[in-house]
Amino acid sequence: MSAEFVLHGRMIKSGRAEGRALVSPAPIGFLGGVDPDTGIVLEPGHPLQGQSVAGKVLVFPTGKGSTVGSYTILRLAHNRVGPAAIINAESEAIVAVGAIIADIPMVDQVDIAQIQDGDWVVIEDGTLTVTRR
């Protein structure tokens, strides 16, 4: 049986998207940390190392690293291997700019501990509908 609940956050990039949640307890640095050609997380020791962000609702606390990470997010989108949406506990400029220029819906100020890996998440502007699977 599936349980559904709603969360609200601050809209960074408007839009609607849905997909399976890929949840990381650790920040993500996109430049060097995610392959822009494949969408695979490359950062050694990262909890998501070896997993693909492609088509997922990517949930992580915050971003980190170089400002070129914004361009990496854009490349992920152009290569059709980017996340369907991004949810952060607290956004920062690198990921926010990347989501905006790549046209990826993004929300922050969300209690990400309530979202589990594999949940189905529908994001529409600042509202998230989460179905536990």
Q: Which of 2, 24, 52, 66 is an active site residue? A: 66
**Residue 70 appears among annotated catalytic residues:** no
Within 10 Å of residue 41's Cβ, how many Cβ atoms?
21
Phi-psi region of 109 (alpha: psi -120 to 50; beta: other; left: phi over 0): left
Q: In what side-by-side order are the strands of the sheet with 16-23?
A: 3-8, 127-132, 120-124, 16-23, 57-60, 85-88, 106-108, 10-13
Gap between the Cα atoms of 95 and 113, Å rounded = 20
Q: Which residues are part of the catalytic machinery?
A: 66
